[in-house]
Amino acid sequence: MENKKIRIGTRGSKLALWQAHFIESQLNHAGFSTSIVEISSKGDKILDVSLAKIGSKGLFTEELEQMLCNGEIDIAVHSAKDVQSNLGDDLELIAFTEREEANDVLVGFEHVDLGVTHKNLIVGTSSTRRVAFLRHFYPHINIVDMRGNLQTRFEKLQNGHCHAMILAYAGVHRMNYDDFIIQKFPLDTFTPPVGQGTIAVQCAKSLNPEMRKSIIEAVNHRKTEICLRAERMFLQTMEGGCSVPTFAYAHWINDNEINIRAGIISLDGTSIVNQFLTVPAQEAEKAGEVIAKKVLQLGGKKILDGINKMTATNGF
């Protein structure tokens, strides 16, 4: 392929730019010239409303996806957890970076013990899944909505909006906030959302096939991709977005097999359906569908219907 400059679209937050520059470095290492195109997404602009009330579809990706369709950029770089399950007919995910630790972490400027009953303890998060898990495992804790980029959230924490926050380890680590980690939540209890810990590269299906192939060769981590395809098939079958507290985590347990843990939890944390499955790697994506159907049959559909009814009633 002629060494055409690859235009990389990204949100403008420090973490999003870190991700874009990481992809850029891999492309540069492979011999390609690049340029970064920054945008501000709907999710970045609306900070005074919870994620659940805004609506989940394309909250952090819609503007970049439109630019891909218009040919204004060649690829878009996202946190994989922000990419909705249904991309439509014109777009596709072609690469996933090697996954960072996928855990959620509790962060703060002073030590906080969630296990100690303390009626005044306040924890901040913008995730409905994390809220639901907190209500399930730590019902005594007060929760406040915490929107904004990582730096904004830490400013709110410092200004006393809460005593601690729950964030993804990957973002905390990439922004060098490791010293503020109080607790790392186990993956089998606070199971992450689909895609947490990895960076996804998206393009239009009309992208030059040679460029597409070259980007995959330079960026894609095949073992991570296999896990992410399984998780995303789970999400697609569940028909859940980022405002629905589904969770899924697939990982390799040996050279040939993958374990998938996935489920859904009610918004109030009182009901949870949690399933796991071990399958040969070549069956991983199909297993994502299988485990979703099992979750729905074992009570997940009831939880999902309740969430949909609640959001419709409240006009979300």
Q: What is the block-wise mean pLDDT of the chain (316 residues), using blocks of 10 residues?
A: 82 95 97 92 47 51 91 96 91 97 97 82 94 95 91 94 96 97 96 97 96 97 98 91 86 97 96 96 97 97 88 58
Which domains, from first to last, does the chain contain? 1-98+199-220 (3.40.190.10), 104-184 (3.40.190.10), 221-316 (3.30.160.40)
- Under 8 Å CB-to-CB from 312, ≥6 apart: which residues? none
Question: HSE of 267 in the Cβ direction (CA atoms, 13 Å)?
Answer: 14
pLDDT at 241: 61
Q: In the annotation, is 162 catalytic?
A: no
Token pair belonging to 220: 């894609």
- Under 8 Å CB-to-CB from 3, ≥6 apart: which residues? 31, 32, 33
Q: Which residue in 135, 153, 174, 212 is the catalytic one?
A: 153
CA angle 121, 14, 156 (to 5 degrees): 25
pLDDT at 54: 42
For residue 262, which of 195, 212, 202 has the smallest C-alpha distance? 195
Q: In the annotation, is 242 catalytic?
A: yes
In this prediction the pTM is 0.90
pLDDT at 244: 86
Distances (CA, A) of 213 to 67, 195, 210, 310: 20, 22, 5, 44
pLDDT at 115: 84
3-state secondary structure at position 41 = coil
Cα 169 off chain centre by? 12
Residues in the chain: 316
- Under 8 Å CB-to-CB from 19, ≥6 apart: which residues? 10, 77, 78, 79, 174, 199
Token pair belonging to 21: 């520059």
Q: What is the chain's percent helix, strand, coil content, to nearest 5?
A: 40, 25, 35
pLDDT at 2: 54
Q: In the annotation, is 229 catalytic?
A: no
Q: In the annotation, is 81 catalytic?
A: yes
Q: In the annotation, is 232 catalytic?
A: no
pLDDT at 316: 47
Instruction: Specify the DSSP class assigned to residue 309.
Output: H
Q: Which residue in 11, 44, 74, 81 is the catalytic one?
A: 81
pLDDT at 46: 45
Q: Are strands 199-204 and 75-79 parallel, antiparallel or unpaired?
A: antiparallel
Burial of 50 (0-12, 13-18, 19+ CB in 10 A): middle
d(CA 102, CA 104): 7
Beta bridge partners of residue 112, listed in sequence order: none
Instruction: Specify the DSSP class assigned to residue 82.
Output: G
Largest CA distance in the chain: 63
3-state secondary structure at position 251 = strand
d(CA 79, CA 211): 22
Instruction: Specify the DSSP class assigned to residue 282.
Output: G
Q: Which residue in 44, 99, 242, 261 is the catalytic one?
A: 242
Q: In the annotation, is 222 catalytic?
A: no
Q: Which residue in 11, 74, 104, 129 is the catalytic one?
A: 129
Q: Which residue in 74, 82, 104, 145 is the catalytic one?
A: 82
Q: Which residue in 99, 147, 174, 261 is the catalytic one?
A: 147
